[in-house]
Amino acid sequence: MPSKTVYVCSNCGHEEPKWLGRCPECGQWSTFAEELRDSAKGSATGFASRAARRGAAAPTFSMGDVVAERERRLKTGMAELDRVLGGGLVPGSLVLVGGEPGVGKSTLLLQMMGHLGGRCLMVSGEESPRQVAMSARRIGVGESGFRVLAETDVDVIEATILEERPEVVVVDSIQTLYSPDLSGAPGSVGQVRESAARLMRVAKSEGIAVVLVGHVTKEGSIAGPRVLEHMVDTVLQFEGDRFQAFRVLRGLKNRFGSTNEVGVFEMTGRGMVEVSDPSAFFLSEREGGTPPGVVTVCLMEGTRPMLVEIESLVSPSHLAVPRRMGGGVDAGRVSMLCAVLSRRAGLSLGSQDVYVNVSGGVRVEEPAADLGVALAIASALRDRPIQAGTACFGEVGLTGDLRAVPGAERRERELLKMGFTRIIRPKVRSRRRAADGGARRAGRDPGPVEVRTLQEAVEAALS
- How far apart are alpha carbons 236 and 304 in whole angstroms? 18
Confidence bin at 279 (pLDDT 50/70/90):
confident
Question: Cα 218 to chain center, whole Å?
Answer: 16
Beta-carbon neighbour count of residue 71 at 10 Å?
Answer: 13
Confidence bin at 446 (pLDDT 50/70/90):
low
- How far apart are alpha carbons 340 and 332 in whole angstroms? 13
Strands (E), 184-241: 209-214, 234-239
Sheet of 352-358, strands arranged across: 324-327, 352-358, 304-316, 294-301, 390-392, 422-426, 449-451
Mean pLDDT check: name the lowest of 45-54, 332-341, 375-384, 387-396: 45-54
Question: Cα 210 to chain center, whole Å?
Answer: 19
Q: Is the pLDDT of residue 137 over 90?
A: yes
Span 393-437, pLDDT tens digits: 999 999 999 999 999 999 999 999 988 999 999 987 654 444 454
| DSSP character string of 41-90 | S----STTHHHHHHTPPPP---TTT---PPPP-B--S-HHHHHHHTSSBP
Question: Cα 413 to chain center, whole Å?
Answer: 25
Confidence bin at 336 (pLDDT 50/70/90):
very high
Q: What is the three-class DSSP state of 131? A: helix
Beta-carbon neighbour count of residue 341 at 10 Å?
Answer: 25
Mean pLDDT for 122-148 is 93
Confidence bin at 215 (pLDDT 50/70/90):
confident
Helix (H), strand (E), coil (C) string for 399-412: CCEEECCCCHHHHH
CATH superfamily for 79-276 is P-loop containing nucleotide triphosphate hydrolases (3.40.50.300)
Beta-carbon neighbour count of residue 158 at 10 Å?
Answer: 16
Mean pLDDT for 160-171 is 95
Assign a CATH topology to domain 281-462.
Answer: Ribosomal Protein S5; domain 2 (3.30.230)
Output the pLDDT for position 246.
83
Beta-carbon neighbour count of residue 296 at 10 Å?
Answer: 27
How many percent of the chain have pLDDT more than 90? 55
Q: Is the pLDDT of residue 26 over 60?
A: yes
Span 46-82, pLDDT tens digits: 444 444 455 678 888 888 887 766 778 999 999 999 9
157 contacts: CB under 8 Å, gap ≥ 6: 123, 149, 151, 171, 177, 199
Mean pLDDT check: name the lowest of 79-83, 199-203, 280-284: 280-284
Span 286-335, pLDDT tens digits: 655 789 999 999 998 877 888 999 999 999 999 999 999 999 899 999 99
Query: What does the CA dihedral 211, 235, 28, 241 come to, rounded to 10 degrees?
Result: -90
Q: What is the three-class DSSP state of 242? A: coil
- Which is more confident, 186 or 425? 425
Q: Which of 104, 111, 76 has the alpha carbon at shortest distance from 90?
A: 76
Output the pLDDT for position 40.
56
- How far apart are alpha carbons 168 and 146 in whole angstroms? 10
